[in-house]
Amino acid sequence: MQIFKPYKRMDIAQYRLDGNADAVEFCPNDPFHHILAAATYTLQEGDHPCRLGSISLFSIKIKEGLKLLQHVETSGVFDIKWNPSHCNIHPQLAQADSDGYLTLHGLQCSSSISEFDGEFLQELCKTKISSSMCLCLDWSPSAKSIATGLSDGSMAISTLREGSIHPEKAWKAHDFELWSASFDTQQPELIYTGADDCKFAGWDVRESTTKPIFQNSKTHKMGVCSISKCPNSLNLLLTGSYDEHLRLWDVRSMQRPIVEEELCLGGGVWRIKHHPYLEGLLLAACMHNGFSIIRIKDGVLEIVERYDRHESLAYGADWQKVDSSQSSGIETKSFAATCSFYDQCLRVWIPKNS
């Protein structure tokens, strides 16, 4: 396997993927914090157009740099996410793709007779969710179900049991492409959705889904493409939009969530990732304006750092889930992984504020 040595200064490594890069995810499960997955989506045009993609699995360590472990060719991938780390199950990576499938990959460790050098992904199960494209996904906090947003505006819920994916419920949630779906980490019966119709909505999956428990259609001036509950707060939630604004909401009044604060990031806010142990710190992929690190303090949003070394649409972003109490020196810092679309570039770097 080829090994890519560290770069100087804040950059640890970079790698050019085989297609348009749109998602990166560090494994949150101990002892696999060094494992990074990156996904691609490429539209092949011509007489017979098709959507192709891939998942590349890497190991990243400060002394070894970025090491490619495995490359898996797939349909075009729109989203990937590892299962939550507190669920006492072996790491699994969920994949939402352009053919309407939801796929689960298990992280395996190679033996001496394996063709792989280190960890690798093994497909566990695959289920057709819809004839529409699967655009986004989110695990429930218990890892017993997965929410999937679809290109026809529908929301689908699948349960995981007996080693298989079982579609359970689907409903028309939005008028256009549904780009973001997020379980409430403290109240897992609630799911938040956002879409190209500029609407931000909440749903209680225990009840009828013919009507949302709330819907905001006035605040976002363009499509809603990212939603994230603040992990240490019962009441605060963030949304990102193509209108370039990151917004902080108070959801105590579920009939009418209140926008508390908003911040223009200079590009569509495609991804929002909270720091694994520094409260109030988050990483945002800002499409046409690189990547920003934002601090939330006393209800105020503030940009504290920018990363602009990518040369294309800023799409994928994640923090390494390293435990600071178990490390020292430079290893105490959490790596950030980011990727950009058309230049097919994956970068791993150390933010100053990590």
**What CATH number does residue 54 fall under?**
2.130.10.10
pLDDT tens per residue across span 281-306:
999 999 999 999 999 998 899 999 99
Q: Is residue 354 part of a domain?
A: no
Q: Is residue 70 part of a domain?
A: yes
Q: Is residue 267 part of a domain?
A: yes
Task: Kindly report the pTM of this predicted structure.
Answer: 0.93
69: containing domain: 3-349
With a pLDDT cut of 70, the percent of the chain lying above it is 92
Q: Is residue 150 part of a domain?
A: yes
Residue 346 pairs in a beta bridge with: 15, 339
Residue 4 scores a pLDDT above 60: no
Instruction: Give CA–CA dist 24/306, Å, rounded.
Output: 18
At 115, the pLDDT band (50, 70, 90 cuts) reads low
Residue 1 has a pLDDT of: 46
**Average pLDDT of the residues in 142-155:** 97
Q: Is residue 165 part of a domain?
A: yes
Q: Is residue 235 part of a domain?
A: yes
Could you tell me how far CA 4 lies from the centroid of its own chain? 24
Count the Cβ atoms, other than its own, within 10 Å of residue 173: 25
The secondary structure of 323-351 as a DSSP string is -GGG--GGGGSPPEEEEETTTTEEEEE--
Provide the domain count of the chain.
Answer: 1
